Structure 1
Amino acid sequence: MAEHRPVLAVIGAGPAGLAAALAAAARGMRVVLIDSGVEAGGQFYRQPPHGLGARRPQALPHQRRTWERLRAGLDTHLAAERVVHLSDRHVWCVEGESTGFTVHALIGPEQQESVAVRADGVLLATGGYEKVLPFPGWTLPGVVTAGGAQALLKGGLVLPGRKAVVAGTGPLLLPVATGLAAAGAQVAALVESAGPSDFVRHSRAWAAVPAKLAEGMVHATRLLRHRVPVMVRHAVLEAHGTERVESVTVAALDAEGRPVPGTQRRLTCDTLAVGHGMLPHTDLADGLGCRLDGPRVYADDEQRTDVPGVWAAGEATGIGGAALSLAEGHIAGRSAAARLTGTVPDPREWAPAARARTRLRSSFATLDAAYAARPVRWTEQVTDETVVCRCEEVTAGAVREAVDTLGAGDLRTVKLLTRAGMGWCQGRVCEPGVAGVAGCELMPARRLLARPVPLGVLAAPPPDHTATPSQ
């Protein structure tokens, strides 16, 4: 009788998921790598489809050498049948049972069928998603998220427009602006709500992360080369247009985060790429009952959650960038390989990754503090007519009425009274904006299903087989 070798299901094939899968497979684990992308890499290492015939695809991904090393390692484990890669699979639920876990994933772009994967352990590398805050005109065609503009460029080899304004706050704006400019777009301005003094105040901490400093200098040099104006301590107040965005109004911000009278300017553009930071993806962890530490999934020094048999790594445990995700994924993969085979993990095996994790977490905390040093009073610029929930077309006025007139005191009550967050995205996109307008605390919602699922899939009998690596 063949010896049973435990199976680890790794959900997500970005930096954390790839590092975890390689580390676990190298320690003898059978790994099922499940990802919604057609190709491995996630958003950070996103590749253009082969059919597009990119002349220089190597110019698009960040950290090309690291990606090539990860890709080569994955190919080696795939050839040896230590890893099965299920691409274009959209995980909607993970069931925990006494004998292990069942991962349910919708198949392909149509998502009308589901596959089930049986595993002894689950590693959540589900990444993060962009925080979206509403403002007048944000629903106009041509207004996209900063990450959406980057995805179009990396994955589709297309520009979202010919003349763009990149605005908001956060470290993502720099690579988006430089990427658009390098691809041929005219970037009218990079509009950042943080200011230089916010970063100077934390300058001593930057000495511990010279790579981040160097990366910032590279982006700054590219912006200068492409003559992109940088407007710090500024914000977009409104987007204007009829059939699509045609211009945006920007203004300087005072120390309280309010627009300074007399500083308003209108910039013409056909694209506004806007982002206000990132939030961890916690839906699958929520469904499993994992403890949340604020907006992120709790994980211990081995990247274990408080649910036995479940690990988490990368942006799901806190936004911190690709290098931190790689370190956490490596630790999680090695820990899972030891724990699931009944051996005691030796932290010395991942000591370098642990040191990198500590250093990178500290640096990102510093970076986060700099960007959030002086919050923007964005809700004061949101008119009552501004749609804040696009799925249900709920306006800011309706949300304010629910709070001021009907007495709603929390986000759930606002949702029940206005239907904000009851649409296709189930609040994943609009919750930060609705919470801000309502003046309510943003609390992660407990959702049994991580994405919309057809009723036919829910009603279908369980599949007869699952996809796992060979014995």
Structure 2
Amino acid sequence: MTDRPRLAVIGAGPAGLAATLAAAADGVRVTLVDSAPEAGGQFYRQPAPGLGARRPQALHHGRRTWQRLRAGLDRQLTAGRVTHLTDHHVWSVERHSGGSGGFTVHALLGPLQEDGVTVDADAVVLATGGYEKVLPFPGWTLPGVVTAGGAQALLKGGLVLPGRTAVVAGTGPLLLPVATGLAAAGAHVAALVESADPKALVRRSRTLSALPVKLAEGAGYAARLLRHRVPVLVRHTVVEAHGDERLTAVTVAALDAEGRVRPGTRRRIACDTLAVGHGMLPHTDLAATLGCRLDGVAVHVDDEQRTDVPGVWAAGEATGIGGADLALAEGHIAGRSAAARLTGGRPDPRTWAGAARSRAALRGFFAALDPVYAPPAHWAEQLTDDTLICRCEEVPAHAVRTAVGELGAGDVRTVKLLTRAGMGWCQGRMCGPAVAALTGCPQTPARTPFARPVPLGVLAGQAPDTQTGPPDNPPDGKDPHDD
């Protein structure tokens, strides 16, 4: 095994697992690096073994697929073809300088993230997933207000209800499993508040019907909502959360055709939990540091899932939000392509033809869904001046509005310099959409040298023989991926 090519796969969700198994099966040594204590990512998140869950499958999707992935990973671990590094939080990936090729993955070890660890590899697959888009509103910082994914993580990983009476709100397909999961676990779901218009789905029925399995999945969620008697409010949005020390109620209102709150439609719903989500954004920190091209907010890849940086592949939500099935297809293609190129051959697309067909169908499906589940166009109009935009630095909306209206800021970076919005622990990942909306400019990925905060002691111990940024320009007519 010591003379086989080395591939580092970052992220052990659906895309990372699929890439790992495909590459290992084709003769490559794989180091799977992940920040979680167990493989699976958010989608296949499992309850901690010590909780003694009697029916762990009850709150999980794609149980059979997960069992197949888990069994495959166990076989490769036993055979020594895969090394799985859990609790390893990657903060940077660097290319070796001097034309030697290869990469060094820098990670922090353990829950305290104080010890530095490095992994050397000949190539890298970025399967870093995505994170939730957070849109603030008055009262969103109250205890009891959580993201939709956060509520789902509590259920899946901790078998914990975030509260007894919940409102699930926002927009996007994720709201369905969150609402049905909370209801099945014993919570009273007072309302599912969806800002999208169902008529928009009907107008895209031809495209959506190309994947009947997805339509059946949606129908199954609808049936469960009916069974649990969950009221569904479409073309509605949460405009305010109420409470002193914690959440006690939310105010929702109907939206007009332009995405503005309709006068006279506000209603108050008592609850102790609000699970709110407005979609997801790709994790692109590591890709941007390596100099990979971004298409909007996602990593650009070719038909083999290669980025434009030689030796770097990307798969899953990092290349565009599309769910677990799409991530599995992209991960499989990335692993097969990386293995073929690392072992000196040319990839044969016939070896991943099925995955390619699935990828094309799923990308088309989610391209049709994306505009339907966009947040309301005028959501920022509901932000009062004292609504916190950046929680890390406690920057209110009026500070951002002043920076734009009175100080002449016309982009997110200038607003950041004038207000400190985005300078905190999350480096703008949470407040970025809100700052962009108030500034009147498009959402762009946060570009930072590190994917997470790093202790100075770890930085001091790094050897200066690596580099970041785009690859050197190749000679004319030469494919940089062939280097």
What's the TM-score bracket when you normalise by the shorter of the two chains?
A: over 0.9
Partner of 1:403: 404
1:366-445 paired onto structure 2 within 5 Å: 366-372=368-374, 375-445=376-446
Tell me how far apart the structure 2 counterparts of residues 230 and 321 of structure 1 sit (CA, whole Å). 23
Partner of 2:157: 155
Partner of 2:459: 458
Q: Is the 8 A contact 1:127 1:315 kept in 2?
A: yes
Which of the residues 231, 234, 237 maps onto 1:235? Answer: 237
Letter of the 2:433 counterpart: P
Q: Secondary structure at the match of 1:370?
A: coil
Does the alignment pair 1:185 with 2:192?
A: no
Closer, same or farther: CA 232–461 of 1 in aligned 2, 3 Å: closer
Tell me how far apart the structure 2 counterparts of residues 140 and 170 of structure 1 sit (CA, whole Å). 23
Q: Where in structure 2 are there 5+ consecutive unaligned residues?
A: 465-483
Tell me how far apart the structure 2 counterparts of residues 310 and 188 of structure 1 sit (CA, whole Å). 46
Q: Is the 8 A contact 1:410 1:441 kept in 2?
A: no
Partner of 2:32: 33
Most deviating of 123-132 and 256-265: 256-265
Letter of the 1:406 counterpart: L
Partner of 2:42: 43
Partner of 1:343: 345
Tell me how far apart the structure 1 counterparts of residues 101 and 305 of structure 2 sit (CA, whole Å). 22
Q: CA deviation at 1:455?
A: 1.1
Which of the residues 299, 302, 324 maps onto 2:301? Answer: 299
Tell me how far apart the structure 2 counterparts of residues 137 and 461 of structure 1 sit (CA, whole Å). 43
Q: Is the 8 A contact 1:193 1:376 kept in 2?
A: no
Letter of the 1:152 counterpart: L
Letter of the 1:68 counterpart: Q
TM-score, length of structure 2 as denominator length: 0.94
Letter of the 1:295 counterpart: V
Tell me how far apart the structure 2 counterparts of residues 132 and 446 of structure 1 sit (CA, whole Å). 18
The C-alpha deviation readout for 1:233-269, integer Å capped at 9, x for no partner, is 0000000000011000000100011111111100000
Letter of the 2:136 counterpart: P
Q: Is the 8 A contact 2:401 2:439 kept in 1?
A: yes
Q: Secondary structure at the match of 1:273?
A: strand
Partner of 1:75: 74
The C-alpha deviation readout for 1:360-419, integer Å capped at 9, x for no partner, is 0000111112223x8331111001110000000000000000000000011000000000
Q: CA deviation at 1:99?
A: 2.7
Letter of the 1:420 counterpart: A
Q: Is the 8 A contact 1:48 1:154 kept in 2?
A: yes
The C-alpha deviation readout for 1:39-66, integer Å capped at 9, x for no partner, is 0000000001101111111222210000
Q: Secondary structure at the match of 1:371?
A: coil
Q: Where in structure 1 are there 5+ consecutive unaligned residues?
A: 464-471
Q: Is the 8 A contact 1:202 1:370 kept in 2?
A: no
Q: Is the 8 A contact 1:121 1:309 kept in 2?
A: yes
Q: Is the 8 A contact 1:198 1:371 kept in 2?
A: no
Letter of the 1:77 counterpart: Q
Q: Secondary structure at the match of 2:371?
A: helix
Q: Secondary structure at the match of 2:292?
A: coil
Which of the residues 310, 330, 333 maps onto 2:332? Answer: 330
Tell me how far apart the structure 1 counterparts of residues 215 and 309 of structure 2 sit (CA, whole Å). 37
Tell me how far apart the structure 2 counterparts of residues 106 and 462 of structure 1 sit (CA, whole Å). 16
Partner of 2:477: none
Partner of 2:469: none
Does the alignment pair 1:197 with 2:196?
A: no
Q: Is the 8 A contact 1:91 1:104 kept in 2?
A: yes
Closer, same or farther: CA 262–461 of 1 in aligned 2, 3 Å: closer
Partner of 2:319: 317
The C-alpha deviation readout for 1:319-346, integer Å capped at 9, x for no partner, is 0010000000000000000011110110
Tell me how far apart the structure 1 counterparts of residues 9 and 58 of structure 2 sit (CA, whole Å). 28
Q: CA deviation at 1:201?
A: 0.8
Q: CA deviation at 1:15?
A: 0.3
Tell me how far apart the structure 2 counterparts of residues 342 and 426 of structure 1 sit (CA, whole Å). 40
Tell me how far apart the structure 1 counterparts of residues 378 and 407 of structure 2 sit (CA, whole Å). 24
Tell me how far apart the structure 1 counterparts of residues 371 and 138 of structure 2 sit (CA, whole Å). 27
Tell me how far apart the structure 2 counterparts of residues 316 and 196 of structure 1 sit (CA, whole Å). 28
Closer, same or farther: CA 127–391 of 1 in aligned 2, 3 Å: same
Tell me how far apart the structure 2 counterparts of residues 91 and 461 of structure 1 sit (CA, whole Å). 14
The C-alpha deviation readout for 1:103-133, integer Å capped at 9, x for no partner, is 0111010000011000000000000000000
Tell me how far apart the structure 1 counterparts of residues 88 and 217 of structure 2 sit (CA, whole Å). 33
Which of the residues 286, 289, 295 maps onto 1:287? Answer: 289
Q: CA deviation at 1:3?
A: 6.7
Tell me how far apart the structure 1 counterparts of residues 209 and 143 of structure 2 sit (CA, whole Å). 42
Q: Secondary structure at the match of 1:335?
A: helix
Tell me how far apart the structure 1 counterparts of residues 457 and 74 of structure 2 sit (CA, whole Å). 35
Q: CA deviation at 1:461?
A: 5.0
Q: Is the 8 A contact 1:16 1:326 kept in 2?
A: yes
Letter of the 2:31 counterpart: V
Closer, same or farther: CA 125–240 of 1 in aligned 2, 3 Å: same
Q: Is the 8 A contact 2:12 2:127 kept in 1?
A: yes
1:251-290 paired onto structure 2 within 5 Å: 251-290=253-292
Q: Is the 8 A contact 1:20 1:330 kept in 2?
A: yes
Tell me how far apart the structure 2 counterparts of residues 360 and 430 of structure 1 sit (CA, whole Å). 29
Partner of 1:249: 251
Partner of 2:12: 13
